[in-house]
Amino acid sequence: MATNRPPITGRQWAALAVLTLPVLLIAVDMTVLGFAVPFLSEDLDPSAGQLLWIVDVYGLVLAGLLITMGGVADRVGRRKLLLIGSVGFAAASVIAAYSTSPEMLIAARVLLGVAGGTLMPTTLASIRHVFPDDRQRILAIAVWGSAFSAGAAAGPIIGGWLLTHFWWGSVFLMAAPVSLVVVLAAPFVLPESRDPRPGPLDFPSVALSFFAMVPFAYSVKHFATDGFNLVSVAALLAAVVSGYLFVKRQQRLEHPLMDLDLFRVPRFSASVATNFTFVFAHIAAMFLLTQYLQLVLGYSPMQAGVILIPGLVLAVASHFVAVRLSQRLSLATIIGWGTALATIGFLVITQTSVDSGAALVALAFAAVGTGLGLAETVTNDAIMTAAPAHRAGAASAISETGYELGGALGVAVLGSVATAVYQSELADAPASARQTLAGALETAGGMEPEAGGELVSRAQQAFTDSLDVAAFIGAGLLIAVGTVVVLVLRRDARRRQETETAAAEEPKAPVGV
């Protein structure tokens, strides 16, 4: 029998549009920077480690603040924190656009991460308040989640056009008018909401979470640029100890910063692991491929963006395909197919060369994007349904943290691996050429034509080799995690089916007994 449900009102649609804008903004910001890397590298001349920090520190700070800012929003009000974050994001974007040194740009990216950390949990929590009906809320969360893929698809187009007509700082400036729209519209369409009985915010947990993530990323970067030494080992040990203390503290707190009990639900933990791995590989591939297309194959930023568009569009379209497939196939099966497609894409990337052409890159990225869309659609639904209703907010916060941390660590780990391979093949080259490929091209421009041409060829070959190695690692990671996830989900499905069957066969007590 059909159930009646209230229609979504115009005010609710307007509220959803406002809440989707920050998500679009964050997704575009994560993908568009890769196109600006060659330009800001030439202008600001960052070292290899500084370049990775410029790209990566935003996602690390954002991921570290998601759960914390969710607790702050419960106390001060979600709409109020959304407005504060939007103003902060606009201001930090202007600072980033007009940065005059690598250090200034890194600091601006930190501020962007802080502001972005206030936007993500407040938007999702507000959606739960604006859409009290269960089925309405599912639709709203689906629209909200699809904004990530849409933003990623728009990033290359917007970034390529801006970099073709303006300087690299323009990719940051575009955030200001979008943030202004949120600030002006939110007070009229969004009701204020907060938790009437929130638990205390545990500041030691906040500190431990940061001391677990930031030293880990630093150790990876330090190893890539300076090798295995006391500094990289000390940073890694600090991260491990902080992570251990964080977990132990959460287990003792009545109101933990992160609800670890959710990871005991197989569908939840498997879905979070899948999303983390896919974003880890996807963002790292985009970071490296945009540089490959521009600095090795010689395409303009706009042309590079057009080449990657099919994969990003397929990532959006495959969300809708996954919805239909989920009516006939199991969660494990769809994740398995998505993982297989993405793995094929990464294996194709390993076949790139200095003159392989754009078609190979477009094909590989299309396979990765399609696999990403298939898997993430069903995993997001599983995350929301696997957690109890009273833990839905905590489940969303953990899921978004996994997304942001996966993107940040993808660039840190695979980017650092690529940097290490690149520098090892150019060990006897000038110091400026060993830092980045952009630095090598600039150095070659000041040399004799024959020597400069030889340096360019060596540097482009070294970067291509580093891309191939990073893609091999990405493919191996997808296979390993995908296999474990599928096995866990199938075992969990069998266990739940056996429990339901046993419950159905259990004899019922006579009425009145």
- Residue 480's pLDDT is 93
Q: Could you give the angle at which helices 203-226 and 48-76 cross, rounded to 10 degrees?
A: 170
Q: What is the DSSP string of 268-305?
A: HHHHHHHHHHHHHHHHHHHHHHHHIIIIIS---HHHHH
Walk along the chain (513 residues) and give the pLDDT tens digit of each residue: 445 556 777 788 888 888 888 888 777 776 677 678 878 888 888 887 788 788 778 877 876 777 777 777 777 778 888 899 889 998 998 998 898 888 899 999 899 888 888 887 777 777 777 877 766 766 776 677 677 767 766 776 777 788 878 888 888 888 888 888 889 988 888 888 776 666 777 889 888 887 887 777 677 666 655 666 788 788 889 989 998 999 999 888 887 777 788 888 888 899 889 988 988 888 788 778 888 888 888 887 778 877 877 877 787 778 778 777 877 888 899 999 999 999 999 999 998 888 887 888 899 988 988 898 888 877 877 777 776 655 555 666 777 777 777 776 787 788 888 888 888 888 887 877 777 788 888 888 777 778 888 888 888 898 899 999 999 999 999 999 999 999 999 998 888 787 777 776 666 556 554
Q: Cα separation of 114 and 165, whole Å?
A: 30
Q: Cα separation of 41 and 321, whole Å?
A: 40
Q: Classify each residue of 6-18 as buried b or exposed e, where b means 16 or more C-beta atoms within 10 Å of its C-beta.
A: eebeeebeebbeb
Q: For residue 323, which phi and psi values (nearest 5 degrees)?
A: -60, -45
Identify the structural domains of the chain with CATH numbers, from first to last.
11-161+169-191 (1.20.1250.20), 203-256 (no CATH), 264-495 (1.20.1250.20)
Contact of 239 with 212, CB cutoff 8 Å: yes
Kindly state the tokens that stand for 144.
């909200």
3-class secondary-structure state, position 506? coil
Q: Cα separation of 57 and 361, whole Å?
A: 27
- Which residues, other chains included, contact 223 with Cβ-Cβ below 8 Å and sequence gap of 6+? 232, 416, 420
Helices (H) and strands (E) in the chain, counts: 17, 0
Q: What is the DSSP string of 61-118?
A: HHHHHHHHHHHHHHHH-HHHHHHHHHHHHHHHHHHHHT--SHHHHHHHHHHHHHHHHH
- Residue 213's pLDDT is 74
Determine whether 3 is exposed, middle or buried from the number of CB atoms within 10 Å of its CB (0-12, 13-18, 19+): exposed
Q: Cα separation of 246 and 492, whole Å?
A: 28
Closest CA to 184 of 196, 172, 176: 176
- Which residues, other chains included, contact 326 with Cβ-Cβ below 8 Å and sequence gap of 6+? 334, 377, 378, 381
- Based on its alpha-carbon atoms, the radius of gyration of the chain, rounded to whole angstroms, reads 23
What residue type is 239 in one-letter code?
A
The label of the residue with tokens 């804008």 reads 21
Number of other residues whose CB lies within 10 A of the CB of residue 365 = 26
- Which residues, other chains included, contact 452 with Cβ-Cβ below 8 Å and sequence gap of 6+? 444, 445, 446
Which H helix or E strand runs over 324?
Answer: helix 301-325
Q: Cα separation of 89 and 118, whole Å?
A: 9
The structure's pTM equals 0.77
Determine whether 298 is exposed, middle or buried from the number of CB atoms within 10 Å of its CB (0-12, 13-18, 19+): exposed
